[in-house]
Structure 1
């Protein structure tokens, strides 16, 4: 029986920092360099590409919505379509907290109780139209955009940015929308 994305995301959030999930695509993940204006980062994002991972296996049309909670944390709502863009919609809701002294570029995200995983905004567009997200182990990478499809020029630029950050771009899996 296949676990849905919500359960897998919960498990992954608790295990990311303490257990290898797969090959590292970046053995030396850089620290985020750009500060993040949280209100500009909030909103709806489309996953353009990712490193394949167990909790998103078979997912297409992946999105993430970030909204500010009344307690100052960030509400995270991840959605996916299982098996294809018209597949069953699943979602996982979590929360994120800003890591102090990170200029809002590092967050800790939890989908299950006290277990938190790294979420590092490694690069972003000046207008917040795209971002590149990773974490300390180099096993996870997400390229996010504000629209479901990106031009070939934008895709190439984002791949080059990921490569410049030290990521193995051959490991990228493009998300269908």
Structure 2
């Protein structure tokens, strides 16, 4: 028995190390006030946003209590692309934790696997800036109601993300993603 278990010991030890640290969210989000258009200020790089700049996210409330999500992305030499999805509130989260699913063939085939965590980890009282993340710390967006933020406001939001364990040294700022004019 020892011979069988000994080679598996490193794997068993590593399995316990992969646990995610808890990620605190804001206590309460008024979805009516949150609705509207948000401009992407910065993000952790993601394959599905490769080449995107001037991205926006627009949220609106559906009659069934879910939230319609419309993400827009501009790529050089192309018309803006759009991804439409639905977010549902996670129970007992004060509307600060959402599960988002975008409408595509994969999500129609396997709906629960294609749901992503959308956790509001910072939100100013006037609903002008927000930081969105998820427990693995692989996804992070800094959004604002305006396409640009003063540097001090941006740095304060970066500090919030850093204090929650996000790799902020990898952030891509929208202003640096825009292609140079010919």
> Is the TM-score greater than 0.5?
yes
Does 2:86 match 1:95?
yes
Report deviation, 1:31: 2.3
Larger Rg: 2
Pairs within 5 Å for 1:18-167: 28=21, 30-83=23-76, 87-111=78-102, 112-113=107-108, 114=111, 115-167=114-166
**Could you say what the CA RMSD is over the residues aligned between the two structures, in angstroms?**
1.5
What 5-or-longer segments of structure 1 have no aligned partner?
Answer: 1-26
**Structure 2, gaps ≥5 residues long:** 1-19
* Partner Cα distance (1:129, 1:95) in 2: 22
CA contact (8 A) 1:131 1:143 kept: yes
CA distance in 1, matches of 2:169, 2:22: 16
Relative to the length of structure 1, the TM-score reads 0.79
| Partner Cα distance (2:147, 2:26) in 1 | 26
CA distance in 2 between partners of 1:56 and 1:90 (Å): 11
Please say if residues 121 and 132 of structure 1, whose CA atoms lie closer than 8 Å, have aligned partners that are also in contact.
yes
CA drift at 1:33:
3.4
CA offset at residue 29 of structure 1? 5.0
Give the helix-richer structure, 1 or 2. 2
TM-score (norm 2): 0.77
Greater share of strand residues, 1 or 2? 1
In structure 2, distance between residues paired with 1:87 and 1:63: 16
